[in-house]
Amino acid sequence: MPAMEIQGMEVFAIAVVGLMFVMVLKQFGMWEPLSLEDISESELEMATVRHQPEGLDQLQTQTKFTRKELQSLYRGFKNECPSGLVDEETFKMIYSQFFPQGDATTYAHFLFNAFDTDRSGSIRFEDFVIGLSVLLRGSVNEKLRWAFNLYDINKDGYITKEEMLAIMTSIYDMMGRYTTPSVKDDAPFEHVEKFFQKMDKNRDGVVTFDEFIETCQKDDNIMSSMQLFENVI
């Protein structure tokens, strides 16, 4: 028995010695590890995505901004997003900074989708500036169409109650908790109900674009508020 124990320990000792030998060989570079991962993979990471916008002239034709305005807009845009593209996370972050008290991420998501017309997942400068052109320099109808597009989440041409509820909830989320009077849990729902009562003429549970336009044009408040941001730029 004692002999066997010694042997056991000796085997162990020899195993340790063998291990150290292997390590020394590795040190000398004579023992290649079996796994040869592609080192080249990491190099691919370096190519970051960069986007250049279309030329100034082209943008001038596409939008209603003057050259100087476009220059100024681009400078602000490029400053914040040097790569030329805004992805959704960055967009949410930027937008949330304007609403510190509440949670603006959901609404920012909807807004992002409204701007990202080609569903590419990121907003390029062209999208940005075209959207702004509509909002600031467009006709009332164009603005209303843009708003309709915003509410119509799945872009099928109809605003359903669920879509409206989602939008409304996200707007109320931006308010945060500390409001007066406090936001009740069913406030968005109430608001949606009111909206539908106003807009949904044929009571079919959805609001089409025509219903929307019609109702809005009759509402003075809405019409006047559409002109509110004329001179933002």
Partner 1 sequence: MAAGVAAWLPFARAAAIGWMPVANCPMPVAPRDHSKRQDELIILNVSGRRFQTWRTTLDRYPDTLLGSSEKEFFYNEEAKEYFFDRDPEAFRSVLNFYRTGKLHYPRAECIQAYDEELSFFGIIPEIIGDCCYEEYKDRKRENAERLQDDQEDKKDFKPPNMTFRETIWRAFENPHTSTMALVFYYVTGFFIAISVLTNVVETVPCGSTSQKDISCGQRYTVAFFCMDTACVMIFTVEYLLRLFAAPSRYLFMRSVMSIIDVVAIFPYYIGLVMTDNEDVSGAFVTLRVFRVFRIFKFSRHSQGLRILGYTLKSCASELGFLLFSLTMAIIIFATVMFYAEKGSSSTKFTSIPASFWYTIVTMTTLGYGDMVPKTIAGKIFGSICSLSGVLVIALPVPVIVSNFSRIYHQNQRADKRRAQKKARLARIRIAKKGSSNAYLQTKRNGLLNELLDLTASEEEQQHLNKTKSLLESQHHHLLHCLEKTTGHDFVDEQLFEQNCLEGALQPYRSRTPSTSSLEGMTGTCCSRRTKRSVPLPIANAPASHAHPLALTHTLPKSPGLQELSAINIQCAEKQIHSSSRSNLNMQTNEVDRRNCKQQKVTTAIISIQTANTGSPAEDGGHGLPNRGASVVTTTSSNIIKVSAL
Angstrom distance (rounded) from CA 70 to CA 124? 14
The residue among 42 and 231 lying less far from partner 1, judged by its C-beta, is 231
Measured in residues, the chain has a length of 233
- In the window 89-128, what residues touch partner 1 (CB under 8 A)? 94-95, 97-98, 111, 114, 128
23 binds partner 1 (CB under 8 A): no
CA 206 to chain centre: 26
224 binds partner 1 (CB under 8 A): yes
Number of residues this chain uses to bind partner 1 (CB under 8 A): 54
Structure tokens at 201: 């003429």
65 binds partner 1 (CB under 8 A): no
Report in angstroms how near the CB of residue 97 gets to partner 1 at its nearest.
Answer: 5
User: Got the DSSP string for 134-189?
Assistant: HHHHS-HHHHHHHHHHHH-TT-SSEEEHHHHHHHHHHHHHHH-S--SSPPPTTHHH
Which string of x and - marks every residue 165-204 that binds partner 1 (by CB under 8 A)?
--xx--x-------------------x--xx---------
Q: Specify which residues 85 forms β-bridges with.
A: 124
Angstrom distance (rounded) from CA 136 to CA 170? 23
Residue 107, amino acid: Y
Which residues are at the interface with partner 1 (CB under 8 A)?
2-3, 5-6, 9-10, 12-13, 16-17, 68, 72-73, 75-77, 79-80, 94-95, 97-98, 111, 114, 128, 131-132, 135-136, 143-144, 146-147, 150-151, 164, 167-168, 171, 191, 194-195, 212, 216, 221-222, 224-226, 228-229, 231-233
